């Protein structure tokens, strides 16, 4: 029987330099899409997938991220006093029960694989675990990690990465799957290549920031092998699973992915999520229509 995935690692140690000067004083993960921080989208997705324990790999200057998940008694009392029950419900969703969250420091930026490895002591050596990159925000009717957990249980274990097809000129920016067998929504991977040189990519099926990993992957990370960019790459540790004869799957998730690690992607996500809101849609759409009309007239 396949073990349930109940723990997730959130690598959030990055400095967010692409968003300076904002990230001089606030962690990038606290920046908001409409009215929810990036990290809240990741937490909500994890909860929907059955995750019970949340492990954050942080670094210096991330105190605001830790404070975000604490209770706020003064604010809660004020909302109660004013009878703002709906806002109280919203606030309740940001609270985490005692012991559900753990924080681990990554003291040196040695790559995504190293960040995941930092959480090794908080995992059972025999249990699978999830990894969620908050920069990748995925809008979907059924949350992406929930889709993956269901496919993972159906396939009977192994390791699984979220995957999506990307244009040929963008492939070299991703880890890419070499597909051995196409099962429909999922594929069996023959290999994985991190940021292949243009023209050498084995497919256009790119790995996106959601993973369900066998405990063997953590053992692979123990070797601290340097990969692309001189960093410890999570992709390489997963590829070692294939070399060892263990199954690695890519799952084509249903939904739209936004790269919120880039300014353009963050703005696109803000507009998309704003248009999905009943309380914002009409006013925002009216503004966008006016903007388009002004640009058309100027041309």
Q: What is the pLDDT of residue 228?
A: 66
Q: What is the pLDDT of residue 1?
A: 60
Q: What is the pLDDT of residue 296?
A: 84
Residue 41, judged by CB atoms within 10 A of its CB (0-12, 13-18, 19+), counts as buried
- For residue 274, what are the contacts with CB-CB under 8 A and spacing of at least 6? 34, 280, 281, 284
At residue 107, does pLDDT exceed 80? yes
As a whole number of angstroms, the distance between CA 91 and CA 224 comes to 40
At residue 154, does pLDDT exceed 70? yes
Taking residues 51-77, what's their average pLDDT? 84
As a whole number of angstroms, the distance between CA 179 and CA 295 comes to 44
Q: What is the pLDDT of residue 136?
A: 94
Give strand ranges (E) for the chain: 7-11, 32-33, 36-37, 53-58, 101-105, 129-132, 136-139, 159-165, 175-182, 186-194, 205-213, 248-252, 256-259
Taking residues 259-268, what's their average pLDDT? 94
Taking residues 19-29, what's their average pLDDT? 87
Distances (CA, A) of 272 to 33, 38, 139, 281: 10, 14, 9, 10
- For residue 182, what are the contacts with CB-CB under 8 A and spacing of at least 6? none
Q: What is the pLDDT of residue 99?
A: 74
Residue 247, judged by CB atoms within 10 A of its CB (0-12, 13-18, 19+), counts as middle
Residues 7-261, CATH architecture: Alpha-Beta Complex (3.90)
3-state secondary structure of 86: helix
Residues 40, 45, 51: CA angle, nearest 5 degrees? 105
Q: What does the domain layout of the chain look like in residue ranges?
A: 7-261, 263-299
If pLDDT is split at 50, 70 and 90, which confidence band does 66 have? confident
Q: What is the pLDDT of residue 70?
A: 78
At residue 184, does pLDDT exceed 90? no
Rounded to the nearest 10 degrees, how much is the dihedral formed by the CA atoms of 235, 237, 238, 241? 150
Helical axes 263-275 vs 281-298, angle rounded to 10°: 120
Q: What is the pLDDT of residue 194?
A: 79
Strand partners, 208: 162
Structure tokens at 13: 């140690």
Nearest to 163 by CA among 183, 153, 154: 183
Q: What is the pLDDT of residues 220-253, one digit of tens each?
A: 988 777 776 677 789 889 989 999 889 999 999 9
* pTM reported for the whole predicted model: 0.89
Lowest mean pLDDT among 20-29, 70-79, 244-253: 70-79
- The mean predicted confidence, pLDDT, of the chain is 88
Q: Looking at residue 292, what DSSP letter applies?
A: H
């Amino acid at each position: 029987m396949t073990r349930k995935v109940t723990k997730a690692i959130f690598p959030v140690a990055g400095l967010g330099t692409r968003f300076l000067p904002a990230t001089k004083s606030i962690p990038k993960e606290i920046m908001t899409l409409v009215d929810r921080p990036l990290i809240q989208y990741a937490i909500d997705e994890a909860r929907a997938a059955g995750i019970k324990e949340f492990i954050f790999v942080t670094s210096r200057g991330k105190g605001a991220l830790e404070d975000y998940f604490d209770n706020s008694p003064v604010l809660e009392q004020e909302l109660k006093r004013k009878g703002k029950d709906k806002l109280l419900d919203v606030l309740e969703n940001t609270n985490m029960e005692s012991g559900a969250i753990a924080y681990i420091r990554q003291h040196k930026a040695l790559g995504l694989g190293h960040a995941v490895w930092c959480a090794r002591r908080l995992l059972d050596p025999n249990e699978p675990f999830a990894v969620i990159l908050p920069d990748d925000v995925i809008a979907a009717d059924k949350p992406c990690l929930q889709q993956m957990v269901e496919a993972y249980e159906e396939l009977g274990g192994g390791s699984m990465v979220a995957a999506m097809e990307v244009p040929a000129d963008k492939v070299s920016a991703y880890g890419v799957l070499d597909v051995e067998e196409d099962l429909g929504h999922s594929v069996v991977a023959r290999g994985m290549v991190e940021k292949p040189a243009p023209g050498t990519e084995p497919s256009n099926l790119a790995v996106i920031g959601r993973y369900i990993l066998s405990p063997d992957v953590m053992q692979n990370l123990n070797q601290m092998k340097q990969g692309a960019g001189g960093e410890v790459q999570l992709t390489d540790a997963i590829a070692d699973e294939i070399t060892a004869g263990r199954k690695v799957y890519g799952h084509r998730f249903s939904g739209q992915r936004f790269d919120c690690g880039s300014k353009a992607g963050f703005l696109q996500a803000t507009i998309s999520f704003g248009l999905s809101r009943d309380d914002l849609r009409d006013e925002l759409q009216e503004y966008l229509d006016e903007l388009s009309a002004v640009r058309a007239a100027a041309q």
